[in-house]
Chain A
Amino acid sequence: MSGAGRVRTVLFVDDDDDVTRGLALALRRERFRTLTTSSPEEALRIVECETVDVIVSDDQMPNISGSELLARVRAAHPDIVRILLTGQTDIRRAASAVNEAGVFRFLLKPYDRTLLVETLHMAFASAESLYTRDRFENARVFDGALERLWLAHQPIFGRDGRVVGFELLMRSSCPEFRSPEHVIALAKVLDRGIELDRSIGRRAASVAEALRDRLLFVNVDPPSVWRDELFAPLLPHAHHVVLEITERDARGDAAKMATRILELKKLGFMVAVDDLGAGHAGLNAVVELMPDIVKLDMTLIRDVDQSYVKRRLVRSVCEAARDLGIRVVAEGVERIEELDTTFDAGCDYFQGYLLGRPCREPAYGTWPRAAPRVPPHLSSTDPATDPPRAASEAPPDAHARAAPDFAPSAS
């Protein structure tokens, strides 16, 4: 995904799975992304790999207390707003939560849903005010981000359950790093987009060098389209590089854009229209750019199994795409039902937390779909048909479970 409409993210940490599951369920309808984990160690890993705005942690956990976890998060990422979920009434523990972890709020157990949502909104607002910095500070943060820039890999699966490629997502190990959008915005403010393009281009090229048999999806911010720095290092690998274009700037000159994209295609790059179905990426982007791939926006995928209209739209896009020779990626797949529904609707590729989170090293995620969809009485028992697990519980496995699927796409 790219970032015009950045989805804000909250991470819940509680060693009691029922609590995290309950929280995730309670927040299903909210417009932010909810990540959950039962392990504080995993939480520390997640904040390294993900853009997290707010973290809510239970206090009483076996190895690391919530206070301690939040203090560590604060040290590594001071911008993440910290909330402690507590049933404790000990003043000294409260003092360490305030003094070391710098908690934004205490939430008392049992939590109240309305209060929780209200608190989260305040926390997001507080997180956003931290976005604004002065120019000197901006330059310092940008330098740091650039110096320690790296690319996370999120696997993208084909219909056969194999990883066809990875989307490369910008990350930085500098403590102030918040999100790719933040770095891009800093680059714009400081007028240093060229440096950022060059840095990403080089790093993506070395990934491409190492992963010659996979497609690599590289996000291209609109201003970068017009410059050469991002593309130049990637030229030798153009045949397996997919440029993800978001038409965020609707006022841009569409004809000029189409010409430029055509140039890039002639150099051998593949082109994907990102976030199709989101506010800024309309069908005209498909008409003008004639992409090789379209990525359906995650808002269209979310609960697609529960909405006839979404299902119908996804299927129509897939049908039209097939006629036009365009492949379709279902992005933001978080639940097995969403995977099954988009699979049946005819999507070609699948990406999302259910299948694999962005990770530092290319991990081949998990393909949780059942083996061939034949009536139960005909199928042999297969471990692959275990009931699906929630995205948060599914650690990215090192090997894809390649389950061939012979199900016909819905007709």
Chain B
Amino acid sequence: MTQRVRVLLVDDDEDLLIGIRLGLRKGAFDVATARSADEAAAVLRERAIDVVVSDEQMPEVSGSRFLGFVRRNFPRTVRIALTGQASFEAVTRAVNEGGISRLLIKPCGADELARAITESLSEREADDIARVCTIPVTP
């Protein structure tokens, strides 16, 4: 793909945002950042985002809840969860409600994240196929 991948990073840890942002710059990524779910939601409403990467532990709205919001409102946006020591409950929520394509465990380098993003996007492409042929399915 020639177009740069538009990524939104959500984490309340500013240092981490800066680090990953620098790491991803080298690749074909266009990176936006947000420090909370609210801020991230505002970004999503404002512009098109291909991939959201969200940390789990954030004050107020947790990452998994936010990813659920993204899935419901921006289903075409690929969702990746980033976690330090999240509870299993949170992970389950990220999977079942957020429909995440990757679960990355901190510390997670920019390379690993870049790979997760590109792989997720090509998986989405494979799933996300134009509609010509509809198979009759009786309930």
User: Once the chains bind, are A133 and B135 in contact (CB under 8 Å)?
Assistant: no
Q: Which residue of B lies closest to A190 (CB)?
A: B133
From the candidates B83, B105, B136, name the one contacting A4 in the complex (CB within 8 A).
B136
How many angstroms from the CA of A60 to the CA of B15 in the assembled complex? 38
Does B127 interact with chain A (Cβ within 8 Å)?
yes
Q: Which of A49-104 contact B (CB under 8 A)?
A: 78, 88-92, 94-95, 97-99, 102-104
Does B138 interact with chain A (Cβ within 8 Å)?
yes
How many angstroms from the CA of A185 to the CA of B132 in the assembled complex? 11
Range, interface on chain B: 20 to 34
Provided the pairs A31-B139, A91-B88 are in contact, do residues A133 and B133 lie with their beta carbons within 8 angstroms? yes
Tell me which residues across on chain B come within 8 A of A185, comparing CB atoms: 133-136
User: Once the chains bind, are A106 and B132 in contact (CB under 8 Å)?
Assistant: no
User: Once the chains bind, are A189 and B95 in contact (CB under 8 Å)?
Assistant: no
Provided the pairs A98-B100, A138-B133 are in contact, do residues A91 and B83 lie with their beta carbons within 8 angstroms? yes
Does A120 interact with chain B (Cβ within 8 Å)?
no
Tell me which residues across on chain A come within 8 A of B131, comparing CB atoms: 132, 134
User: Once the chains bind, are B134 and A132 in contact (CB under 8 Å)?
Assistant: yes
Tell me which residues across on chain A come within 8 A of B92, comparing CB atoms: 94, 106, 108
User: Once the chains bind, are A94 and B91 in contact (CB under 8 Å)?
Assistant: yes
Provided the pairs A5-B138, A91-B105 are in contact, do residues A132 and B129 lie with their beta carbons within 8 angstroms? yes
How many angstroms from the CA of A186 to the CA of B86 in the assembled complex? 45
Does B24 interact with chain A (Cβ within 8 Å)?
no
Tell me which residues across on chain A come within 8 A of B73, comparing CB atoms: none
Q: Which residue of A lies closest to B126 (CB)?
A: A78
Tell me which residues across on chain A come within 8 A of B103, comparing CB atoms: 91, 94-95, 98-99
User: Once the chains bind, are B100 and A133 in contact (CB under 8 Å)?
Assistant: no
User: Once the chains bind, are B130 and A133 in contact (CB under 8 Å)?
Assistant: yes
Q: Which of A257-299 contact B (CB under 8 A)?
A: 279
How many angstroms from the CA of A131 to the CA of B130 in the assembled complex? 10
User: Once the chains bind, are B85 and A134 in contact (CB under 8 Å)?
Assistant: no
Provided the pairs A4-B138, A106-B95 are in contact, do residues A95 and B105 lie with their beta carbons within 8 angstroms? yes
From the candidates B116, B123, B130, B138, name the one contacting A6 in the complex (CB within 8 A).
B138
How many angstroms from the CA of A181 to the CA of B136 in the assembled complex? 9
Does B96 interact with chain A (Cβ within 8 Å)?
yes
Tell me which residues across on chain A come within 8 A of B20, comparing CB atoms: none
User: Once the chains bind, are A102 and B101 in contact (CB under 8 Å)?
Assistant: yes
User: Once the chains bind, are A132 and B133 in contact (CB under 8 Å)?
Assistant: yes
Q: Which residue of B lies closest to A31 (CB)?
A: B139
From the candidates B96, B116, B129, name the one contacting A105 in the complex (CB within 8 A).
B96
From the candidates A6, A95, A103, A189, name the one contacting B132 in the complex (CB within 8 A).
A189
Q: Which of B88-125 contact A (CB under 8 A)?
A: 88, 91-92, 95-96, 99-105, 116, 123
User: Once the chains bind, are A186 and B133 in contact (CB under 8 Å)?
Assistant: yes
A133-167 vs B: 1/0 string, CB under 8 Å?
11101100000000000000000000000000000
> Interface on B for A, CB 8 Å cutoff?
81, 83, 85-86, 88, 91-92, 95-96, 99-105, 116, 123, 126-127, 129-139
> Interface on A for B, CB 8 Å cutoff?
4-6, 8, 31, 78, 88-92, 94-95, 97-99, 102-106, 108, 128-135, 137-138, 181-182, 185-186, 189, 279
10 smallest beta-carbon distances between A and B, as pairs: A134-B130, A89-B88, A5-B138, A98-B103, A132-B131, A95-B103, A133-B129, A189-B133, A131-B135, A94-B91
